[in-house]
Chain A
Amino acid sequence: MATALHAASALARRDLRAALRQPGELLAPLGFALVVVALFPLGLAPDAALLRQLAPGLLWVVALLASLLALPRLFAADLADGTLEQWLLAPQPRALLVLAKLAVHWLLTGLPLVLLAPLLGLLLGLEQVGALALSLLLGTPLLSLLGALGAVLTLQARAGTGLLALLLLPLEVPVLVFGSAAAQPGSGAAPWYLLAALLAAGLALTPWACAAALSLTLD
């Protein structure tokens, strides 16, 4: 088990280093979120009360779309340079390696969105930015987990990015519904519990599903 954990940690460190040396790709989702939020007052109306009311839902939609931007390269980069075959053939539990990759992916794409969320909320006049950030803290790992499954299934597909969005968006509707409900001022405990339950289920099942799907995709 120690060897497997060492291997997973090595894979995570490798991905982290590689990503941090190409920061442009990391900044794209954040830049997208910032620009879209800046456009809402122009597109809807410069009505502070309306924007404040819509803010949790809008920001959750932005987070969901921003998370899609980073997904196509999640496994495609490894496929292109041959490292995917290398870690698939490693004598380690594949699901553990997938989980390590997803942890890094969330750290680089989900966590920055969580940290940026209070600022985005304030831009739209939201007062309870803490609830928004917390809901994203629970929800963005789920977006990474579901997104990874979509990324694997569309790995070898032509026009994979479009297909990925079509495949994923319906799957991510529950996350969006519970996440934006949790971020609403005065929301009860139910959406939080449901979001946490979805995250627990996603953590337990998705790495296995991705590992199995990767084998089928490469065949």
Chain B
Amino acid sequence: MTHPTAHVYLVDNLDTDRIIPGKYTKTLELSALASHVLEDLDPEFSKKVQRGDILVAGNNFGCGSSREQAPLALKAAGVSVVVARTFARIFYRNAINIGLPVIEVEHHNIQSGDSISVDLEHGIVTNHTKNETYQAAKMPEQMIDILHAGGLVNYLVEHGDYV
């Protein structure tokens, strides 16, 4: 079985302007967002990333703007999960709301190219290349419910209100 490939950028404070610069956010086209994702950090990223791949980052990932275009751009580019040491608050919430799983892992050994799988339910990240597993921080139940629904839109369509 093949597992998603990790793309590792262990920089701290990778802000929303570097995930998707403000000049590209004024659109409702997801493909337009995807083509510029992370371009000021790594101009090759949007070409390298394959559907289902995993992005691995450092501390305070997604700090800065409240733009939902940041997780949307990553998701549209094919990223299936973001693993970071910590996330900035708004990004974390936005990602869950649009149905992009995010998981906080303090200690790991993941390098670019490693094959990775993520068990959100139990908060475990497995590195198949190195035969290692890493423990993730627990996610609030409210967020797991929203992720299960596929995002906040579906959650509210299902429930009609916050429950």
A and B bound? no
Give chain A's interface residues, CB within 8 Å of chain B.
Answer: none
Give chain B's interface residues, CB within 8 Å of chain A.
Answer: none
